[in-house]
Amino acid sequence: MLAFLVPLKSRQVSTSWERVCGLFQRTVASACAQTSPAFRVVVACHEIPGRVAAHPNLEFVQVDHTPPSPSSKQEMRIDKQQKHRAALSRALSYRPSHVMFLDSDDLVSNRLAAFVSSHEAESGWFFRSGYFYCERQKYLHLERSRFEQWCGSSHIVRPEYLDFMLGLDDRLVYDHRNLTEDLARHGTPIRPLPFRGAVYSVSHGENLNDYESLLWPAHPLWRPLRRVLFHRAITPRIRGEFGLTPAA
């Protein structure tokens, strides 16, 4: 079984709580659309958003620590790690074979749970390839070979690895670029996922990094070149697999 662990930022540190909730609703719908029932979605949060569709595999864990200061990246990092641990603690009661940290604005393939169920003896996987999505754009940006270095929603691992991973200077939260190599050095190597596993939602005003100018450059020469090399139309198949709809 695969458990998705979702940390949700507090209303007190959100630029727009309405936008945060809209993105979160889409993320939950994406995770709950798995083709296999062998999954759980555990959300750790201060406030439970309204208007989230109920699902038997979805549950919330409310934390009671003081919300971080929005001006302190260190406090934001600690808050996210505390929520990861709270979600993990609850998820372990279901004895999942694997877990995945999923940011509250990203989307996942609906094939993940079925794939994990068919490979429960494996150590885990990293997402070498995936998509970037900006709300104001009509196309996806395809990252073919380094997706796990950009997006935090890009690793599926056995839960017994998490004590090791969460102790690496918060790397699983904010510096996931070295995570695959760190696990290999620890003697627990993971493999590339054999299909595109996630959509990284960027430049919507609530995430820390803004990649819009890099992925969709305004330069008259770079824009058409990137369109040919990296941009992909949002097809009905992609919409269906990832639950890629306009945020509520």
- pLDDT tens across 174-207, in order? 456 777 888 888 888 999 999 999 999 986 555 5
Q: What is the pLDDT of residue 174?
A: 43
Question: Of the segments 72-86, 201-215, 220-234, which one has the largest average pLDDT value?
Answer: 72-86
- pLDDT tens across 215-232, in order? 555 555 655 555 555 688
pLDDT at 211 over 90: no
pLDDT at 94 over 70: yes
Q: Which residue has the higher pLDDT, 187 or 44?
A: 44
Mean pLDDT of all residues in the chain?
87
3-state helix, strand, coil in the chain (%, to 5): 35, 20, 45
Given pLDDT bands bounded at 50, 70 and 90, which one contains residue 93? very high
The alpha helices in the chain, defined as continuous H runs, are 17-31, 73-91, 112-118, 147-150, 162-166, 171-174, 179-185, 212-215, 222-229, 236-242
Query: What average pLDDT does the segment 79-83 reach?
Result: 91
Q: What is the pLDDT of residue 105?
A: 95
Q: What is the pLDDT of residue 199?
A: 97
Query: What average pLDDT does the segment 153-158 reach?
Result: 95
Given pLDDT bands bounded at 50, 70 and 90, which one contains residue 208? low
The token pair that represents 68 in the structure block = 């971080």
Query: What average pLDDT does the segment 74-86 reach?
Result: 90
Q: Which residue has the higher pLDDT, 38 or 230?
A: 38
* Residue 10, CA distances (Å) to 103, 111, 146, 206 in order: 14, 30, 30, 12
Query: What average pLDDT does the segment 134-140 reach?
Result: 83
pLDDT at 173 over 60: no
pLDDT at 133 over 60: yes
Q: Which residue has the higher pLDDT, 167 or 32?
A: 32
Query: Which domains are present in the chain?
Result: 2-129+145-198 (3.90.550.10)
Instruction: Let me know: does 21 contact 114? Beta carbons within 8 Å.
Output: no
Q: What is the pLDDT of residue 176?
A: 65
Percent of the chain with pLDDT over 90: 62
Q: What is the pLDDT of residue 112?
A: 99
Instruction: Let me know: does 206 contact 105? Beta carbons within 8 Å.
Output: yes
Identify which of 116, 135, 82 has the alpha carbon closest to the alpha carbon of residue 191: 116
